[in-house]
Amino acid sequence: MLSVISPAKKLDFEEVLNVKNSVPKFQSDANYLAKIARKLSVSDLKNMMKISEDLAILNQKRFQSFSEEPEDYKTKQAALAFAGDTYTGLNASSLSSKELDYAQDHLRILSGLYGVLRPLDLIQPYRLEMGRKIATKSGNTLYAYWSDRIGNELDLISGGIIVNLASNEYFKATGKKMNSKIITPSFKEERGGELKMIGFFAKKARGSMARFMIQNSIKDLKDLKSFNEDGYSFRSELSDTNNWVFTRKTV
């Protein structure tokens, strides 16, 4: 069983932890895409990513600094470098060495630049969302560039079951009808008798579920239904075969 999450826009390269590391499988693709992005102006990046001038300048500097052979201090393990809401739930820095080893085989991070990342794959600072348009040898979008390769890779290592904890933008990059069984959990808040999905909480819960799967070595789908972190519980009456709903009561 494999869990899949999205990357994060927010990065943390300040503290480098002394843990194992690995090389991304699609490193050569990342090098190719970074060379293309390096040619983009601040204005190009601002318009493409819909970001502020300051963020465009920052990301232009990142692509200008991107190296095929970076110094160690310029890289960090992916699960530790991403720092968004999902990664607050995952809290990879507190996982044991044994748990990180398990995560290396059973968790994947989708990426516009790197395609598919293992938790301990070393990455350089970047921002390149999967849904953005960028001209490559394969077309004008990253979806066209990655084609079916991401989906093929996930199918190859999934063991037949993928728990999709990624956003629609990123899971769309699988590019085809998957051979694996896909389970897509959603997390909702119950307030005043109504159920609502709130972005921050839902993203954090995705990371928490990925962590739950790692720490409990979840191999059977029925065990996934016992997920109860932060007060969530499985709601069978709201779920179907492939879309599972977890809810909790909030004030």
pLDDT in tens, 173-194: 998 788 999 999 999 999 888 9
Give the pairing type, strands 2-5 and 107-111: parallel
pLDDT of amino acid 200: 94
The three state secondary structure string of 11-57 is ECCCCCCCCCCECCCCHHHHHHHHHHHHCCCHHHHHHHHCCCHHHHH
CA distances from 140 to 67, 135, 174 (A): 24, 4, 17
The runs of H, that is alpha helices, within 42-181 are: 42-49, 53-65, 78-81, 85-90, 97-106, 142-146, 149-157, 168-171
Alpha-carbon gap, residue 243 to 251, rounded angstroms: 26
Alpha-carbon gap, residue 155 to 152, rounded angstroms: 5
Burial class (CB in 10 A: 0-12, 13-18, 19+), 24: buried
Give the residue from 107, 151, 148, 114 showing the smallest Cα distance to 130.
114
Centroid of chain to Cα 234: 23
Q: What is the pTM of this model?
A: 0.96
- H/E element holding 206? helix 199-215
Q: Could you report the per-residue pLDDT of 227-243, keeping only the tens digit for each?
A: 999 999 999 999 999 99
Q: What are phi and psi of 220, to 5 degrees?
A: -120, 130
The answer on pLDDT for 123 being more than 70 is yes
Tokens 């933008």 correspond to 169
| Mean pLDDT of the region 10-17 | 86
What residues have CB less than 8 Å from 61, skipping those under 6 apart? none
169: left (phi over 0), alpha (psi -120 to 50) or beta: alpha
Length of the chain equals 251
Alpha-carbon gap, residue 201 to 170, rounded angstroms: 19
Give the residue from 128, 140, 158, 106 showing the smallest Cα distance to 45.
128
| Mean pLDDT of the region 5-21 | 90
Q: What are phi and psi of 142, to 5 degrees?
A: -70, -30
The CB-side HSE value for 88 (13 A sphere, CA atoms) comes to 10
Q: Could you report the per-residue pLDDT of 161-175, keeping only the tens digit for each?
A: 999 999 999 999 998
| Mean pLDDT of the region 75-94 | 96
Give the residue from 234, 195, 3, 224 showing the smallest Cα distance to 106.
3
